[in-house]
Amino acid sequence: MAVYTEVSDEELARFIAGYDLGKLLSFKGIAEGVENTNYLLHTTAGTFILTIYEKRVDVADLPFFLGLMEHLSAHGVSCPLPVRDRRGNVLNELSKRHAALVTFLKGVWPKRPKADHCRELGSALARMHMAGRDFPLYRPNALGLSGWRPLFEKFASRAGEIDSGLGSLIQQELGFLEHAWPTDLPEGVIHADLFPDNVFFIDEKLSGIIDFYFACNDSLAYDIAVCLNAWCFDPDSEFEPSKGAALLQGYESVRPLSAKERQSMPTLARGAAMRFLLTRSYDWLNTPKDALVARKDPADYIRRLAFHQSAASIADYAPQLIS
């Protein structure tokens, strides 16, 4: 459950009074998510999401995240739109935390994504990349290549508690990635965490993208690699080529990949798998078993990484594509 900060009725009513949203009718905590506290609010003006930013979020990054959502929404991307208060602010304070309101998006996220979902995702991701081209703010990817080894060093001595060979696997893979990581790929604003629970659908048509709190600047193709990991494996972490093909075809229907992006896809996918293997491993070892936030098993990404290590070209992800 992702409600870390409890808010009283009186506190919330005072907070809402600063906006032109009418009267607060009801609110309830939202269990999904792991980084921040989220509430679903109903007012006489409509339905909204209240996010209270917890200590893991750097306040200095909030103008980037909130500004990006405003920018993407203005450029036709269906995403939450930050709500400005009567003074024009999108960021305020509630319960001694920074907080913001955003519009509510209709739809549900797919528990078992199909190829059609992946095709919709691919085209939406490309449109998001195109819309973000002239976004003026910049945020480096703190969970990119340069951050992986320092994160590993925080739990390296305990990696064997997850799997006896995990430490040596990560050590060897980091050596490969640090040597082979592609450079000079097209860059821009990426979502960096586009898992199924961050994408809403209505009747298998994508209705919106949420949770931009890992968004940053990095290679656009890396964002595709994140999605290949998050969307195109079955529950046993077996790769499903039909989903990979649909994702890549959907993306290229809007923004064709360069030859170097295609050539780099297996390495980028290995890197994306490593990113989530590292963060899940760290959280697995450092989150109390009785915590409200459910721990995610790192083993899924050990198996996914093994597939990417065997991939020779982009054709291994989409047999219909010519590498």
Residue 36: what pLDDT? 83
Residue 218: what pLDDT? 98
| 65 within a domain of the structure (yes/no) | yes
Q: What is the 3-state secondary structure (H, E, C) of 209-256?
A: ECCCCCCEEEEHHHHHHHHHHHHCECCCCCECHHHHHHHHHHHHCCCC
Q: Which of 223, 195, 213 is nearest to 58 (CA)?
A: 213
Helices (H), ranges, the chain: 9-16, 62-74, 115-131, 145-153, 166-180, 220-231, 241-252, 259-286, 299-310
55 in the same domain as 189: no
**CATH code for the domain in which residue 99 is found:** 3.30.200.20
Spatial separation of the C-alpha atoms in residues 252 and 264, rounded to whole Å = 16
Residue 290: what pLDDT? 59
Spatial separation of the C-alpha atoms in residues 223 and 74, rounded to whole Å = 21
pTM equals 0.94
Residue 9: what pLDDT? 85
pLDDT (tens, 9 = 90+) of the chain, 323 residues, equals 355 678 888 899 999 999 999 999 999 888 665 678 889 999 999 999 999 998 778 889 999 999 999 999 999 999 999 999 999 999 999 988 999 999 999 999 999 999 999 999 999 999 999 999 999 999 999 999 999 999 999 999 999 999 999 999 999 999 999 999 999 999 999 999 999 999 999 988 999 999 999 999 999 999 999 999 999 999 999 999 999 999 999 999 999 999 999 999 999 999 999 999 999 999 999 877 655 566 788 999 999 999 999 999 999 999 876 54
Number of domains in the chain: 2
| 40 within a domain of the structure (yes/no) | yes
Residue 293: what pLDDT? 61
124 in the same domain as 68: no
Q: Which of 21, 41, 20, 11 is nearest to 86 (CA)?
A: 20
Spatial separation of the C-alpha atoms in residues 316 and 306, rounded to whole Å = 13
Residue 320: what pLDDT? 72
Q: Which residue is it, tokens 């949770």? A: 211
163 in the same domain as 131: yes
258 in the same domain as 126: yes
| 3 within a domain of the structure (yes/no) | no
144 in the same domain as 242: yes
Domain span at 20: 9-103
